[in-house]
Amino acid sequence: MLEKVYTKDIQKGMFVVCSANGNPSLPEEIANTSISSKETILKLQRCDIKEVLIDSSKSTTANIHPKTSYSEEILFARETYANILNMIKLIFETVERGDSLDVAQYEKNIDPLIDSIERNPSAAASLTVLAQSDKYLFSHSLNTAILSAMLGRFMGLPRESITQLSIAAMLMNIGEIWIPDSILKKKGKLTKQEFSTVKDHPVAACKYLNNQPGISIDIIKGVLSHHERDDSSGYPEGLSGSKIHKFARIISICDSYDSMTSDRPYREAMTPNMAIKHLYSMKKTTFHTRYIESFIMCVGIYPVGCFVKLSDGSYGIVLENTPQAPLLPQIKIVFDSRLRATHPKYIDLAKLASENSGESLEIEECIHPKSFKLELSRFLW
């Protein structure tokens, strides 16, 4: 798993791959090596490089959250997901009653989720692809929080900021409580007046949050500006570029991605890789290039949960990505070429490609599970 780390935070045992932005380049003797001495750390810090990419799977630094396999982590992540989904439901009920939010308690409650992401982000990420149309408002908030925490972690935010970022994502749509269902659930195109009502929800949310104790300015800005766009085409203030708070820039991408990959009253869900392609097409305009590219490096070209057909005709689920080979993730094979259920088989496409000098196994296409009336939850654990 590739992660961004500030050069000032480099420790012995970290496996440094390259500079985060590629320019300037790392000295050859440091690139793709494990940091083994203080002298190497000092040499790296003297370079005009603020951030580097490290490969956590090859690093040997002590970690309070030791890495786990997907199979080890998924049951814990699943339980944590259910607990926080219920918490978000209670948050919305609290807001609807006009009662006070308990942010300190929410921070404690999401600690297990962030711990899980630290140990194995693929487990929590896989849960974001499971459709919960009857709980969309809550599951979308939680999915966005998970993806935001992953991206914030990848971009080197400290733990405290990741916690605040996650809470901002969970609260981003509380303003929709005051939007009529006839607008929120409308299947056709919204009228100009209806869209104007929808655009008020970040402001409505912040009016409420401004009167709540314990809400940081970072959370409020993240909520207020999560629909702002880099080219000033967003709302409610039409901000652009660096005027948009970093929490909002992260949340806006994750919010858009989860919305694209979810069924909505007015359109069907995209497959995860199609959503990635669509987001990438909006770099330099709707979204800042660095944030978009970081998101894609974080979740992969074939994000966890993609249902894919392989070049040998078999079908499987993407369980983990390989940062060094984004087109060759780890797959759980669940069907043969005739769509007959098979005993689960785990394949690391990158490892297979490196071991075979001849023809290797590749992803042929990403398919929407609805095409085969599949419940993905059957295959994720």
Answer yes or no: is 63 within a domain. no
Q: What is the pLDDT of residue 239?
A: 96
Same domain for 172 and 289: yes
Are 154 and 173 in contact by the 8 Å Cβ rule? The answer is: no
Same domain for 33 and 96: no
Are 361 and 373 in contact by the 8 Å Cβ rule? The answer is: no
Share of the chain above pLDDT 70, in %: 94
Round to whole Å and give the CA distance between 166 and 95.
Answer: 18
**273, 320, 292, 297: which is closest to 2 by C-alpha?**
297
Answer yes or no: is 130 within a domain. yes
Tokens of 121: 């982000």
Round to whole Å and give the CA distance between 245 and 225.
Answer: 7
Res. 117: pLDDT tops 70: yes
Same domain for 273 and 169: yes
Q: What is the pLDDT of residue 169?
A: 98
Q: Is the pTM of this model over 0.85?
A: no
Q: What is the pLDDT of residue 65?
A: 58
Q: What is the pLDDT of residue 364?
A: 93
Answer yes or no: is 105 within a domain. yes
Instruction: For residue 226, give the CATH number of its domain.
Output: 1.10.3210.10
The C-alpha R_g of the chain, in whole angstroms, comes to 21
Per DSSP, the three-state class of 346 is strand
Round to whole Å and give the CA distance between 93 and 87.
Answer: 10
List all residues 6 or more positions away from 204 whose beta carbon is below 8 Å from its beta carbon: 175, 178
Same domain for 112 and 23: no
Q: What is the pLDDT of residue 18?
A: 84
Domain that holds residue 331: 307-378
What is the mean predicted confidence (pLDDT) over 306-322?
A: 92
State pLDDT tens for residues 39-63.
888 888 788 788 888 877 677 665 5
Same domain for 333 and 286: no
Same domain for 124 and 98: yes
The residue with greater pLDDT, 218 or 54, is 218
Same domain for 330 and 194: no
Q: What is the pLDDT of residue 184?
A: 84
Residue the block writes with tokens 């709540």: 212
Res. 14: pLDDT tops 70: yes
Same domain for 107 and 50: no
Answer yes or no: is 65 within a domain. no
Same domain for 206 and 313: no
